[in-house]
């Protein structure tokens, strides 16, 4: 996971894995929840982030950015195939998905 600095530069902050969930309201997907567990923290204290659909974007070949409570984050996946798979899972919900 990376965090965006005040200088708009992505800074690596932790390595781990993420679970991704859709959040629904009355049967309509309105947000995506990311639960991130890192090597440093173990699995006992996962961090949860909620992002509205239009705040989830593809970034580069292996990145996925999202905003939670006005703070931006970047998930960097091991390879393009993994992020492509995640993209295909989220894309049907997010008509504003953009590739940068």
Q: Which residues pair with 18 in a beta bridge?
A: 36
Identify the sign of the CA torsion 18, 96, 5, 9.
positive
What gap in Å lies between CA 45 and CA 36, rounded to an integer? 9
* Domain annotation covers residue 60: yes
95 lies in some domain: no
- Classify residue 98: in a domain, yes or no: no
Whether residue 99 is contained in a domain is answered as no
- Judge whether residue 66 has pLDDT over 90: yes
The structural domain count of the chain equals 1
CA distance 24 to 26: 6
pLDDT tier for residue 32 given thresholds of 50, 70 and 90: very high
CATH at residue 30: 2.30.29
Residue 93's pLDDT is 64
Q: Rg of the Cα trace of the chain?
A: 13
**pTM higher than 0.85, yes or no?**
no
Domain-located, residue 40:
yes
pLDDT of amino acid 44: 62
């Amino acid at each position: 996971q990376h965090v965006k600095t005040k200088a708009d530069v992505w800074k690596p902050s932790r390595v781990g894995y993420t679970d991704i969930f859709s959040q629904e309201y009355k049967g309509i997907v309105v947000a995506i929840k990311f639960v991130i567990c890192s090597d440093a923290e173990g699995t006992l204290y996962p961090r949860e982030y909620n992002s509205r659909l239009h705040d989830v974007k593809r970034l580069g070949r292996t990145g996925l950015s999202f905003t939670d409570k006005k703070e931006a984050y970047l998930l960097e996946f091991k390879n393009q195939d993994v992020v492509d798979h995640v993209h295909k899972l989220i894309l049907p919900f997010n008509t504003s998905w953009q590739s940068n």
